[in-house]
């Protein structure tokens, strides 16, 4: 009779332990998959944004170089026209 008592107690403790473990870790395990999906989606968006920023920076660099070249050309043209107008006056 004592053996049956301890076997029944062990079975009850085992079942309660399984239920308690599921109550703690079961919902978290379900949320973990959702969190991983959200994380991978966020990482994909971050990678896309980084690529866009890099492309924008590259385009901005090209535009700045073109602007500087145009400003230099304008300054040279202004100097050339001033020299030409000076030579005409003489």
Looking at residue 29, its pLDDT comes to 67
Provide the number of structural domains found in the chain: 1
Residue 31 domain boundaries: 1-65
Nearest-angstrom CA–CA distance, 22 and 26:
4
| pTM metric for this prediction | 0.48
Looking at residue 41, its pLDDT comes to 94
Looking at residue 35, its pLDDT comes to 79
Looking at residue 63, its pLDDT comes to 92
Residue 47, domain member (yes or no): yes
Looking at residue 43, its pLDDT comes to 95
Which residues in the chain come in under a pLDDT of 70?
1, 27-30, 89-90
Residue 79, domain member (yes or no): no
Residue 88, domain member (yes or no): no
Looking at residue 90, its pLDDT comes to 61
Residue 18, domain member (yes or no): yes
Residue 37, domain member (yes or no): yes
Dihedral sign for Cα 15, 21, 24, 25, please: negative
């Amino acid at each position: 009779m004592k053996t049956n008592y301890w076997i029944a107690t062990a079975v009850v403790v085992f079942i309660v332990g399984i239920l308690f473990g599921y109550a703690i870790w079961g919902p978290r395990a379900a949320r973990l998959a959702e969190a991983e999906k959200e994380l991978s989606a966020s990482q994909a968006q971050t990678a896309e944004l980084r690529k866009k920023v890099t492309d924008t920076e590259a385009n901005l660099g090209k535009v700045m170089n073109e602007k500087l070249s145009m400003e230099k050309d304008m300054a040279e043209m202004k100097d050339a026209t001033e020299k030409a107008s000076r030579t005409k006056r003489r």
